[in-house]
Amino acid sequence: MQYDGLAWVTALLAVLTVLVAARILFGGNWLLGWLRGTCGLFFLGLAVLVGLVAYDLYSYSPLPESGPLATLSFKADGDRYQVQVTEGEATHNVIIQGDLWQLDARLLRWKGIAELIGLKPGYRLQKLTGRFLAIEQQSMSVHAQAELAQSPYGIDLWRWLRLGKHDLMMFDPQALRVTYLPIADNAQYRVSLTPTGLLAEPMNSAAKQALKDWK
């Protein structure tokens, strides 16, 4: 609910900015026509930008109080795997190829006054990557990567904060990753957040055997 609320508050700011833009653009006095039009278009563009940021925030979820962040179930389909990625009540069905899998996620922690008022960290599963052990197979892979989330029109708050080192004295964007683990037909893994990062654990005999054979 927290990230839904943040998205709605940001969306409200976008609406208010649209109203300001409309007031400037359609005001009765056009003595300062060019300047008025420029300012109005600026606020209109700003409203669109804030709205897209709100949509991007909506894609994050609060960390679960108990249980894993996600579970992954692999099912062989010829030379590829159908993967069901479940997080809470949401499910992603994607296809990857390879002998190993890797999961990338994003963590958005709060600091300063945002942390003091009780805002909780949020996360987003970003992409699932498959990798063959043989270089020849890897170079011919068609389904090497599956996106689990995307930011609209490139408006990516987390990336802007992290790459530009703009914390705004509120945010602490962090990258999370499950490094390559073996894929097997019917294997199931559970992914949890620990103090040292993401931890993937086998959930059934197929996954346990795959780990045993790989090591």
User: Is the domain of 141 the same as that of 45?
Assistant: no
pLDDT for residue 7: 62
Q: By residue range, what is the domain housing residue 45?
A: 2-58
CA distance 157 to 149: 13
User: Is the domain of 84 the same as that of 149?
Assistant: yes
* Contacts by residues 189-192 (CB-CB < 8 Å, ≥ 24 positions apart): 189/71, 189/72, 190/68, 190/70, 190/71, 191/68, 191/69, 191/70, 191/71, 191/72, 191/103, 192/67, 192/68, 192/69
Among 58, 82, 102, which residue terminates a domain? Answer: 58
User: Is the domain of 88 the same as that of 12?
Assistant: no
User: Is the domain of 171 the same as that of 140?
Assistant: yes
User: Is the domain of 142 the same as that of 38?
Assistant: no
Q: pTM for the full model?
A: 0.80
pLDDT for residue 113: 84
pLDDT for residue 192: 96
User: Is the domain of 121 the same as that of 30?
Assistant: no
**Is-contact 180 102, C-beta < 8 A?**
yes
Mean pLDDT by 10 residues, the chain (215 residues): 60 68 59 65 83 88 90 95 93 96 95 83 95 90 92 89 84 94 97 94 97 87
DSSP assignment string, 155-184: --HHHHHHHTT--TTTEEEEEEEEEEEE--
Among 27, 42, 58, which residue terminates a domain? Answer: 58
User: Is the domain of 135 the same as that of 165?
Assistant: yes
User: Is the domain of 82 the same as that of 161?
Assistant: yes
pLDDT for residue 117: 83
Q: What is the domain count for the chain? A: 2
User: Is the domain of 22 the same as that of 126?
Assistant: no
User: Is the domain of 39 the same as that of 73?
Assistant: no
- Helices 2-25, 33-58: inter-axial angle, 10-degree rounding: 170
Among 10, 39, 58, which residue terminates a domain? Answer: 58
User: Is the domain of 107 the same as that of 186?
Assistant: yes
User: Is the domain of 44 the same as that of 93?
Assistant: no
